[in-house]
């Protein structure tokens, strides 16, 4: 009887993202964490965010879509993003990328290196977790995914301030939907 490998095979960049965020105490969500994390984020950001099903589909496909911060076993923060393949990057540029329910054809597979990132959201209920999430995101952007375009569409005033003031995102050229991005040339500045 052949041996079946049950653990996913991660690409170089997915492994590096997981390792980089682990340095900040941020752990990839397990299947059992998805619904809790989605409810947590919706309470802080609002209900018009990705469904638990889409969140799980993207996280499982890419191998790195949802990371959690916990304090004393309690969920206190989430960091979520979509690792995009070439089709996903093209969809972002032509404004057909559906951030609430990403097409699986736009999401890089766990064994592939992404060509871009789309930030889904950051939410925290404590200052220590917020600091870990932001510092982890900054480190990842300045090191692991340096050179890749990083997109987001902030939906709250706090999100706009975070993206522009703390993470150096700028308005995305040609966007009519509030899309911001961190062009590849700016990624190293985030760590400063």
**Structure confidence by residue, pLDDT tens digits, 121-138:** 899 999 999 999 999 998
One digit per residue, the tens of pLDDT, for the chain of length 192 reads 555 545 557 889 999 999 999 999 999 999 999 999 999 999 998 888 999 999 999 999 999 999 999 999 999 999 999 999 999 999 999 999 999 999 999 999 999 999 999 998 899 999 999 999 999 998 988 888 888 999 998 877 877 788 888 778 888 888 888 899 988 865 445 545
Distance (Å, rounded) from C-alpha 64 to C-alpha 114?
11
Rounded Cα–Cα distance for residues 141 and 167 (Å): 9
Residues shown for the chain: 192
Contact criterion met (CB below 8 Å) for 121 and 78: yes
- All structural domains of the chain, each given as residue ranges with its CATH number in brackets, are 16-191 (3.40.630.30)
Which residues contact residue 78 at a Cβ distance below 8 angstroms, ignoring those fewer than 6 apart? 37, 40, 41, 66, 67, 68, 69, 121, 122, 123, 124, 133
Would you say 119 and 152 are in contact if contact means Cβ atoms under 8 Å apart?
yes
Task: Give this prediction's pTM.
Answer: 0.88
| Coil vs helix vs strand at 94 | coil
């Amino acid at each position: 009887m052949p041996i079946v490998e049950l653990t996913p095979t991660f690409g170089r960049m997915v492994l590096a993202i997981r390792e980089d965020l682990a340095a900040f105490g941020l752990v990839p969500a397990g299947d059992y964490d998805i619904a809790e994390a989605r409810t947590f984020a919706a309470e802080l950001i609002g209900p018009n965010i990705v469904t638990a099903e889409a969140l799980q589909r993207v996280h499982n496909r890419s191998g790195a879509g949802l990371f959690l911060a916990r304090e004393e076993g309690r969920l206190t923060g989430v960091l979520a993003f979509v690792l995009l393949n070439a089709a996903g990057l093209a969809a972002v540029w032509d404004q057909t990328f559906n951030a609430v329910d990403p097409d699986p054809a736009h999401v890089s597979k766990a064994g592939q290196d992404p060509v871009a990132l789309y930030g889904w959201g950051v939410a925290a209920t404590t200052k220590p977790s917020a600091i870990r999430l932001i510092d982890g995101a900054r480190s990842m952007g300045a090191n692991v995914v340096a050179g890749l375009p990083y997109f987001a569409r902030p939906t709250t005033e706090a999100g706009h301030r975070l993206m522009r003031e703390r993470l150096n995102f700028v308005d995305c050229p040609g966007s009519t939907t509030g899309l911001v991005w961190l062009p590849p040339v700016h990624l190293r500045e985030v760590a400063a």
